Amino acid sequence: MKLIALGLNHLTAPVSLREQVAFDDDATGSALRDLAQQPGVDEAMILSTCNRTELYVSVAAGAENVPQEWFNRHHHLTPGKLDEFLYRHDDEAAVRHVFRVATGLDSMVLGEPQILGQVKDAYQQARDASALKTPMDRLLQHTFAVAKRVRTDTRIGAHTVSVAFTAVRLAERVFTDLRQACVLLIGAGDTIELAVRHLAEKQVRRLIVANRTLENAQDLASRHGGYAIALHDLPQHLAEADIVIASTAARQPVLTRPMVEKAIAARRRKPMFMVDIAVPRDIEPAVGELDDVYLYGIDDLRQVIDDNLRSRENAAREADAIIDLQVERYMAWRRALTVKNPALDLRQHAETYRDEVLEKARAMIARGKSADEALAFLANTLTNKLLHHPSARLREAVLSGDHELLHAAGRLYGLDEDETAGTADE
């Protein structure tokens, strides 16, 4: 069977196309069952996230194009529409790809940890749909072990590389317990939403979302237990905020020095931490001159992010070295599946003899022979049957001087050379 990884991601396809070929969670199970039933398909798993949609499929010889043909049919796409956006990895390259995906090396944010949970969810969906067999099941178990080792042995996830998370992390340095902090977020775009999610996870005391369009602020705030205000109401609420994170599309600053001075006075000089991640800036630079304000701009965060990204890139090189080794180990196991195993043949041969002789021993007891006679017959006959062919071959080896076979037999049976030769001469 050939292992294929087929898909598209944030590097190869625009979001409009990624949306079109994404799999809904509720429909993934039926899609998996349909894919697994296609001619030549032996196993299947579907990984679908906001940044990627991938099929992992084991196919018989001659069925290599079946996954892509099914992909087009399932999404009602004309043949060839996805060709310039798709990538395909076969066998060893497919194994390396799933290892890199699960460890975050193929993510938009290098080393991000969420993708591992998404791969585990995809694995569970494939199991629930009975779309996996031993080879791919073993591959996914190996994948999880590789991801854990990369996280343990490298610093791939040690440093944050997103603007929103870096802003929240900086806030933690000023306010060691964010559960006691009131946070004011200005804007309602993607960066602010990510910041809100991180802050909600930190269980901040209060979230206030301010936006020019109040409905957008209300939508974001309601999803995270916050309070929404219109942008023109900022002066009335600014003094409440211990932390301010701003990211709007305004052409002029929305927070001026006089506004912040009044807020600081109302707070009785209690410090405020501010992060301005907008371009153009939302907070007047002069605000940073105030004694009780800690103001960080996008360039300040960018330096932190760039340093952290370089650290992750170094860790990524270490992770790739780990992955290269683990790819070879899995491929060696997979190749062994196609090799005829003489140990299995030997065991089956022995079990066949055992069953035949055991049946004869039972027949002796049924005819009135004693149990001792039957056991002696069983032991002697089974020993003679199992050792007849090896003894004959060893006797021939002694006569012909085939020392290589004699040494191999000694290793196989755990005997030294003298014992092996003695056995053969008997």
CA 284 to each of CA 174, 250, 258: distance values in angstroms, whole numbers, following the listed order: 21, 12, 10
Q: Which residues are annotated as a binding site for substrate?
A: 49-52, 107, 112-114, 118
Task: List strands edge to edge, sheet with 87-90.
Answer: 41-48, 52-59, 2-9, 87-90
Q: Alpha-carbon distance 283 to 274, whole Å?
A: 9
182 is known as an active-site residue: no
Banded model confidence at residue 330, pLDDT cuts 50, 70, 90: very high
Q: Are 255 and 283 in contact (CB under 8 A)?
A: yes
Neighbour tally for 114: CB within 10 Å: 11
pLDDT, tens only, 335-385:
888 776 677 677 878 888 888 889 999 999 999 999 999 999 999 998 988
Q: Alpha-carbon distance 387 to 353, whole Å?
A: 11
Residue 368 confidence (pLDDT): 92
Q: Are 101 and 23 in contact (CB under 8 A)?
A: no
Q: Which residues are annotated as a binding site for NADP(+)?
A: 187-192
To the nearest 10 degrees (0 to 180), the angle between helices 371-400 and 417-425 is 110
Alpha helices by DSSP H, 154-290: 163-174, 190-201, 214-223, 234-237, 257-266
**Left, alpha or beta for 401 (phi > 0: left; psi -120 to 50: alpha)?**
left
Q: Alpha-carbon distance 319 to 148, whole Å?
A: 11
Contacts of 310 (CB under 8 A, 6+ apart): none
Q: Which residue is catalytic, options 15, 22, 50, 279?
A: 50
Indicate the pTM of the whole model.
0.60
Phi, psi for 57 (deg, rounded to 5): -140, 140
Q: Alpha-carbon distance 305 to 190, whole Å?
A: 18
Q: Alpha-carbon distance 150 to 104, whole Å?
A: 10
Banded model confidence at residue 392, pLDDT cuts 50, 70, 90: confident
Contacts of 338 (CB under 8 A, 6+ apart): none
pLDDT, tens only, 216-266:
999 999 999 999 999 999 999 999 999 999 999 888 899 999 999 999 999
pLDDT, tens only, 101-160:
999 999 877 888 889 999 999 999 999 999 999 999 999 999 999 999 999 999 887 766
Residue 338 confidence (pLDDT): 74
**For 56-79, what is the HEC assignment?**
EEEECCCCCCHHHHHHHHHCCCCC
Contacts of 393 (CB under 8 A, 6+ apart): 405
Q: Are 136 and 56 in contact (CB under 8 A)?
A: yes
Task: Please say if the pLDDT value at position 425 is more than 50.
Answer: no
pLDDT, tens only, 72-85:
999 999 888 899 99
Q: Which residues are annotated as a binding site?
A: 49-52, 107, 112-114, 118, 187-192
Name which of 43, 184, 239 is nearest 126 in CA terms.
Answer: 43
DSSP secondary structure letters along 309-352: HHHHHHHHHHHHHHHHHHHHHHHHHHHHTTS--HHHHHHHHHHH
Q: What angle do CA 323, 324, 329 make, to 5 degrees?
A: 90
CA-CA-CA-CA torsion sign (31, 32, 36, 41): positive
